[in-house]
Amino acid sequence: MDSNVRPESMQRITNPQLAQAFIEEQVAAIRAQVGDGKVLLALSGGVDSSVVAALLIKAIGKQLVCVHVNHGLMRKGESEDVIKVFGEALDANLIYIDATDRYLDLLAGVAEPERKRKIIGEEFIKIFDEEARKLSGISFLAQGTIYPDIIESKGVKAHHNVGGLPEEMAMELVEPVKLLYKDEVRVVGEALGLPHHMVYRQPFPGPGLGVRCLGAITRDRLNALREADAILREEFAKSGLAEHVWQFFVAVPDFKSVGVRDGKRYEGWPAIIRAVNTVDAMTATIEEIPYPILHKITNRITSEVEGINRVCLDLTPKPIGTIEWE
Ligand code: XMP
């Protein structure tokens, strides 16, 4: 039987009991596969890699080495959260690499979206490879592959797989959630005790804020984007919108417009809000955000974020607009 095909008899994991049964089965399978070997995992802080990390920590504890690469394109507080949850609460073997300068130096002046993505993806592999070489005795590589990745790698979204690792990394793969759908991964994550916000967080592209800081990335504009995005997320959470909007974020283009602040001319970038609903990310509709919430977000972003002087709303469904701007 092809181990990459989900058997028709496999029950959908929809509740904590089914999740527990899956966890027990996988813990045993991981122990049988790994023995007393060491396993390496690239832990981005996304749902899939986080759930795999928690599962492996339960199965093999310190035999798992997690590497979290902060490419400087994370949302506000994300890397700190990974350190708090995995390094502290779960006491994992966690290597944290702050590669912000390395990435931003490489990306300086690069405006073309595909080149930006390529640089971000390739640099990740380089850094991860460098770290792997420093460690000895690692013979397994864990990955947060889920079932849609297996289905989609047959075509449509191959360009999204920025995290693909080089084949010469001769390690045996450990992919405990590869037959699960996203909703099942989340149920398993909660059963493993991961925080709700981590397990139910919205999708975030591998190249991170890099594809939302449009054109050539600069540190000041990236910071403005990160702060504006944090305000948007905070207000969506407070108003309850975060519970039913599939994905929402801010993009900041690389041009300025004229404005006035404190009685003086104030040139700044616009913050563009995008909030979409979708089932499979192949098409998407626009979420209607109540105007009072939009006004509040606009007031906060334009008064709290250095460098932003306008807020715009993207009303474009997919198609014709993709969800991300780049
Ligand atoms: P688009 O922009 O193609 O996005 O409509 C569809 C969904 O995929 C996410 N996305 C990515 N995810 N690596 C990822 O892991 C990527 O390079 C990437 N690009 C887009 C996007 O956020 C949306 O949810």
> SS3 string of the chain?
CCCCCCCCCCCCCCCHHHHHHHHHHHHHHHHHHHCCCEEEEECCCCHHHHHHHHHHHHHHHHHEEEEEEECCCCCCCHHHHHHHHHHHHCCCEEEEEECHHHHHHHHCCCCCHHHHHHHHHHHHHHHHHHHHHHCCCEEEEECCCCHHHHHHCCCCCHHHCCCCCCCCCCCEEECCCCCCCHHHHHHHHHHCCCCHHHHCCCCCCCCHHHHCECCCCCHHHHHHHHHHHHHHHHHHHHHCHHHHCCEEEEEECCCCECCEECCEECCEEEEEEEEEECCCCCCEEECCCCHHHHHHHHHHHHHHCCCEEEEEECCCCECCCCCCCC
**Across the chain, what does the average pLDDT equal?**
94
Atom of ligand 1 nearest to the CA of 322: 5
Q: What is the mean pLDDT of residues 199-210?
A: 95
Ligand 1 lined by 44 (C-beta under 6 Å): no
Residue nearest atom 18 in ligand 1 by C-alpha distance: 205
**pLDDT value for 166:** 59
**pLDDT value for 280:** 85
CATH topology for the 212-313 domain? GMP Synthetase; Chain A, domain 3 (3.30.300)
The residue ranking higher by pLDDT, 166 or 75, is: 75
**pLDDT value for 36:** 97
Q: Where are the domains of the chain?
A: 16-199, 212-313
**pLDDT value for 246:** 95
**pLDDT value for 12:** 96
Q: What is the mean pLDDT of residues 41-58?
A: 97
Ligand 1 lined by 281 (C-beta under 6 Å): yes
Confidence of residue 158 (pLDDT cuts 50, 70, 90): very low
CATH superfamily label, 16-199:
HUPs (3.40.50.620)
Residue % of the chain over a pLDDT of 70: 95
pLDDT at 163 over 70: no
Q: What is the mean pLDDT of residues 77-87?
A: 97
